[in-house]
């Protein structure tokens, strides 16, 4: 005799679906440590060991140089229950270096690093900046503050939730180039003015009035 197929009650399926969606929202759409049950975020206390490891990693990044580009939080998180049940789409795979190159080209065409940050409306200058996989560029501190106060991880411009973050230095390099150009222009102007003053003191002018003043100054001194 064939075994009967067990039928799950509708109430049980609805309860499981709601629990899976709530778990997915808490783990993926909201920031880590934020709880839907409380009035606000419940951040976990950082131990000394975790803080020390994070400081060591930051120190190593500084030793390697600020010009190094790297992806933040590039580790794949495990699938939630809602993703395993097929209620929502699965996570997007990490971008390759070629895909990041295309994203960077698109951001350059949009003038993301030239224009001010869309969050604070200030120029990037030498402040750390990040490139999102949706081709938008912001200050690193501005994105972190936006995610903290909005309590979710989404792009401030296009509202995209699933994105990767890459540390870049395009605006810093552009600012250094502009500063070097201004310094060189000032030095050229100073050199030309100094040369012109020296020429005016040593060379006799062709005009009669200027030549007269030139010899009068020579006789006076």
Write out the DSSP string of 153-188.
Answer: ---TTT--SS--EEEE-HHHHHHHHHHHHHHHHHHH
Residue 196's H or E segment, with its range, is helix 170-202
| 132 token code pair | 């999102």
Is residue 207 scored above 90 in pLDDT?
Answer: no
Break the chain into its structural domains and give their ranges.
175-220
Count of C-beta atoms within a 10 Å radius of residue 191: 10
Strands (E), 44-118: 70-72
DSSP annotation of 31:
P
pTM of the model: 0.59
Q: What confidence score (pLDDT) does residue 61 get?
A: 52
Highest mean pLDDT among 68-77, 128-137, 161-170 belongs to: 128-137
Which residue has tokens 């200030």?
122
User: Residue 132 forms beta bridges with which residues?
Assistant: 165
Whole-number Å distance between alpha carbons of 90 and 87: 9
CA proximity to 102, closest of 93, 90, 110, 114: 110
Would the pLDDT of 2 be above 80? no
Mean pLDDT of 22-50: 53
The pLDDT tens digits for 127-143 are 999 999 899 999 999 99
């Amino acid at each position: 005799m064939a075994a009967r197929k067990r039928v799950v009650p509708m109430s049980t399926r609805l309860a499981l679906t709601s629990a899976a969606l709530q778990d997915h929202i808490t783990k993926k759409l909201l920031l880590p440590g934020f709880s839907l049950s409380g009035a606000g975020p419940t951040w976990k206390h950082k131990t000394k060991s975790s803080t020390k490891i994070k400081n060591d990693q930051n120190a190593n990044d500084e030793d390697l140089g600020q010009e190094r580009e790297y992806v933040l939080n590039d580790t794949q998180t495990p699938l939630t229950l809602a993703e395993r049940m097929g209620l929502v789409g699965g996570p997007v795979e990490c971008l390759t270096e070629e895909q990041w190159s295309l994203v960077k080209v698109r951001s350059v065409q949009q003038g993301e690093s030239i224009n001010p940050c869309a969050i604070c409306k200030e120029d990037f200058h030498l402040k750390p900046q990040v490139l999102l996989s949706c081709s938008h560029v912001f200050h690193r501190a501005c994105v972190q503050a936006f995610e903290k106060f909005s309590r979710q991880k989404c792009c401030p411009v296009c509202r995209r939730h699933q994105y990767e973050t890459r540390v870049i230095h395009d605006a810093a390099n552009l600012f250094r180039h502009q500063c070097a150009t201004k310094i060189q222009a000032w030095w050229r102007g100073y050199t030309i003015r100094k040369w012109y003053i020296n020429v005016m003191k040593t060379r006799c002018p062709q005009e009669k009035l200027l030549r007269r003043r030139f010899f009068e100054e020579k006789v006076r001194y």
